[in-house]
Amino acid sequence: MNVGPGGDIGNIETEPTEALNMKALAIVTRVREKLTGKDFIHEQELTVPRQVNLLIQQATANENLCQCYIGWCPFW
């Protein structure tokens, strides 16, 4: 039994549920890869210590830090 737009209960034609949002699916896939340890190397899972080490390396890399702070001037 389906409820119609006016609140009527009856047999109404079923509309397509929702169009898949490709961006949302890509984000969910990315999060799943991060949680399963496949963030850096997609073919194999990383151990937790190895994944943490790679994340720390990325977080402390000068190339990434300089993008966080607009006043970054390493040459001064």
The pTM of the full predicted model, rounded to 2 decimals, is 0.51
State the pLDDT at residue 15: 45
Per-range mean pLDDT, top range of 5-14, 46-55, 60-69: 46-55
pLDDT (tens digit, 9 = 90+) per residue, 13-31? 544 445 568 888 888 998 9
Instruction: Give residue limits of the domains in the chain.
Output: 46-70
Asked if residue 37 lies in contact with residue 48, where contact means CB atoms within 8 angstroms, the answer is yes
User: Alpha-carbon distance 30 to 58, whole Å?
Assistant: 17
Average confidence (pLDDT) over 33-45: 82
Beta strands in the chain (DSSP E): 2-3, 9-10
State the pLDDT at residue 16: 44
Asked if residue 67 lies in contact with residue 61, where contact means CB atoms within 8 angstroms, the answer is no
Tell me the Cα Rg of the chain: 23
State the pLDDT at residue 72: 64
